[in-house]
Structure 1
């Protein structure tokens, strides 16, 4: 199986490094100093006490990489319209596209029970991604892989557990294509559980991201720091409860473990991907992680006052900084 990794930063680089070490044919679409370092020295990954370097095919042009059997997009939501057009040379007639990203994905309404079966304007203005990739190619992916680019060409995984990528079809079937992709990922030393309720997996992670990532940007604090301060902890728990109510309006029940979520020892010193984007002056996934919850809440008549306040502050901070 030939796998294309689009956006080989922290998460994409982690996956590419594992796959390449296992002998999988990996084609990486990257750019800038990270691409230059990968070409010159290879892709280095540090994870669970191991460090290794793999040679991967890498380019900033999809035409150089050619057609692949599977594409894994690990780039952030704001970059997707450009990426959707750029990866066309890598798409075969039936190439699936694994959407490994935080927040509500662009394909979310596709075959959702009670949904619109249409693009979401907030996440995919003008249906650019929907039309360029096609929702029938989409495979959902929930990421559990705290990682960061330590320096160009070098990805550091900062959790004691192995990185994991939960996979699922938009229609909740357990398809052959998902099982085949999961097998390759697992054989490379990563986790790849297959779910028949992908949207629930997305909301479980979204409750965490929405309650911590925006506050991390607003305060500069790590996830553990937010839990150590009783006042910021109260805000994170309030946002989780608001998002939980919105998920329930979609028929998705997400349990909140109050004790675990309130225990600083259960949180890492990791700087969230949104905070990493802020640090680097890159656009943040505010729409997919924050504003879409507000949209769905308003549509269902569910108030989200704490999230509304945090969203306003985060949006103004981004606007003032021009990101």
Structure 2
């Protein structure tokens, strides 16, 4: 199988690089300065066992490949807010022997949240979800780092909306040869919603910086508890913290990498890079949506969604709000629950 990594940033670059290092055929899809750096100098992947450069085919869209092959696997690793654009580009792409990518090829959604795969299922017949637990950083154009050891990450796989099949197992086997653990599970959603609960802290980190102070840690606990209340009200199951810890054990330990400092998570990286967008609508916003559908107030996730989007839109500095200020705003948001909306 040939793997086409649509969005060769932190996660996509780490997955693509590790697959290439294990001898698999990989094509990277990127734009702008990152595309130029990958084309001219290759993908530089910094990991605990060294820095590796992979000279791989690089395109900015399906036109650069001509007709896709019947053995291609599309790995969608863009942020969820960029999903529609990627689906627009790749869904109609022709495949050798007839038909389109949307009709014939497997699409793996290696993304945070749960919405990207739902978007994909409107277009693609063969959609697979991935629960991504892969600490990775976009270092600079052409370079990404992944500090996990001895495994680079853990990637649960399953068909969307549920089930498993031979394709998922073949992909998992390739990933496991490439320094990942890749359990194939019929109930992938349990793991994705568990990851969603942990990703609710992404906006806290993006706005206030590393979640280290007692105030920030306590706020994260409150935000997660709000998410748990919403999922429980919606009847959505999720893997427990204990279950996740038991699975991970010490399989992915973060080690310091020279010249590749570990930055924050994906939302923090979006602000640091000044992309102008952030995935809060599909993390905290997912909890807000479910809360409205099931009658559960979500003032903390509403606040974080709004702040994260403001920081991205206005290109504010990541981590520039003091944690105490965010806690104050959170207290006010919770106190206002039940009050009528302010009049314009």
- Fold match, TM over 0.5? yes
Q: Distance in 1 between matches of 2:306 and 2:61?
A: 37
Measured after TM superposition, the shift of residue 148 of structure 1 is 1.3
- Asked if 1:213 is matched to 2:217, the reply is no
Secondary structure of residue in 1 paired with 2:297: coil
- Asked if 1:286 is matched to 2:283, the reply is no
User: Which one has the largest radius of gyration?
Assistant: 2
Is the CA contact 1:140–1:170 (under 8 Å) kept in the aligned structure 2? yes
Measured after TM superposition, the shift of residue 151 of structure 1 is 2.1
Q: Find 2:134's aligned residue among 126, 138, 145.
A: 145
Secondary structure of residue in 2 paired with 1:182: helix
Is the CA contact 1:38–1:153 (under 8 Å) kept in the aligned structure 2? yes
Is the CA contact 2:202–2:266 (under 8 Å) kept in the aligned structure 1? yes
RMSD across aligned positions (CA): 2.4
Is the CA contact 2:203–2:267 (under 8 Å) kept in the aligned structure 1? yes
- Asked if 1:85 is matched to 2:79, the reply is no
Partner residue of 1:54? 54
Q: Distance in 2 between matches of 1:314 and 1:64?
A: 35
Report the count of equivalent residues.
289
Partner residue of 2:301? 307
Q: Distance in 2 between matches of 1:144 and 1:254?
A: 14
- Asked if 1:31 is matched to 2:36, the reply is no
Secondary structure of residue in 2 paired with 1:89: coil
Partner residue of 1:63? 63
Is the CA contact 1:235–1:306 (under 8 Å) kept in the aligned structure 2? no
The alpha-carbon distance between structure 1 residues 253 and 37, as it changes in their structure 2 partners (threshold 3 A), is closer
Secondary structure of residue in 1 paired with 2:39: helix
- Give ranges in structure 1 of 5+ residues lacking alignment: 109-123, 261-265
- Give ranges in structure 2 of 5+ residues lacking alignment: 95-99, 246-252, 256-261, 317-344
1:193-237 Cα offsets, whole Å, 9 max, x none, are: 112111111111111111x21111211x12xxx1x3111111100
Secondary structure of residue in 2 paired with 1:107: helix
The alpha-carbon distance between structure 1 residues 150 and 298, as it changes in their structure 2 partners (threshold 3 A), is same
